[in-house]
């Protein structure tokens, strides 16, 4: 097996795994707040306390995955063109 064929097979397998993840779980944790929905701050004594709500995920802690966002966009354009 050549190196190019091995690389193509590996890339195809990774792509299929990502498609499966996007299908099974379309929402992932927010990268900014790490799924908490808010940022953690420290007070002057060094203790952790709740900060402001996360603006990126609107305090839900979840964001749509990039692959699912692309699929939703493609499906919307396809439906609009089919009718």
- Count of Cβ atoms closer than 10 Å to residue 36 Cβ: 16
Cβ(56)–Cβ(32) below 8 Å: yes
Check residue 81 and give its pLDDT. 87
Is the pTM above the cut of 0.75?
no
The candidate with the shortest Cα–Cα distance to 66, out of 18, 16, 13, 3, is: 18
pLDDT tier, 83 (very low <50, low <70, confident <90, very high otherwise): low
Check residue 41 and give its pLDDT. 85
Q: Is the pLDDT of residue 9 over 90?
A: yes
pLDDT digits (tens, 9 = 90+) for 14-56: 999 999 998 899 999 998 888 888 888 888 888 988 888 898 8
- What is the Cα–Cα distance from 66 to 57, expressed in whole angstroms? 14
- Tokens at residue 72, please? 């939703």
């Amino acid at each position: 097996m050549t190196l190019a064929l091995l690389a193509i097979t590996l890339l195809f397998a990774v792509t299929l795994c990502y498609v499966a993840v996007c299908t099974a779980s379309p929402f992932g944790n927010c990268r900014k707040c790490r799924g908490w929905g808010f940022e953690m701050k420290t007070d002057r004594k060094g203790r952790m306390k709740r900060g402001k709500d996360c603006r990126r995920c609107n305090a839900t802690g979840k964001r749509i995955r990039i692959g699912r966002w692309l699929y939703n966009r493609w499906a919307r354009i396809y439906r609009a063109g089919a009718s």
